[in-house]
Structure 1
């Protein structure tokens, strides 16, 4: 089932609304695949992930990460994720 893209200038009321709408879209995309687990990152991502998990009827967990500073600039952060974490939508993650 194809889902229309969200306009790039769309502003959400809050993170809960954004997560609810994202969950609805993901439920349509994953209708046959399902989701094994939804991960939320602290500092904003957990409320979004909670709504996604609710929409997908999937367990929610929190992935605590540490920001890795970039040399010469304190405000810039860099890092990478562990390859062991499988994206829930691998066909879209490419």
Structure 2
């Protein structure tokens, strides 16, 4: 590999802002903030809006369109009198 052309690949702490869930993985993401970990390491910090810990699909709280009170049926009934 050529020297000086590859991004810095290092441990980075990602934090879910909605619930405070933290995880450490390796990344090349550029950050300006750092965080002090429980083990004493100081790692770059990347803040995320949603992770698998808070996303409705992964937490099982996702709602199906079919179960939202018959929205399609209400729409059809409301506009049934309008013809093309």
TM over 0.5: no
Higher strand share: 2
TM range (shorter): under 0.3
| Structure possessing the higher radius of gyration over alpha carbons | 2
TM-score (norm 2): 0.22
Higher helix share: 1
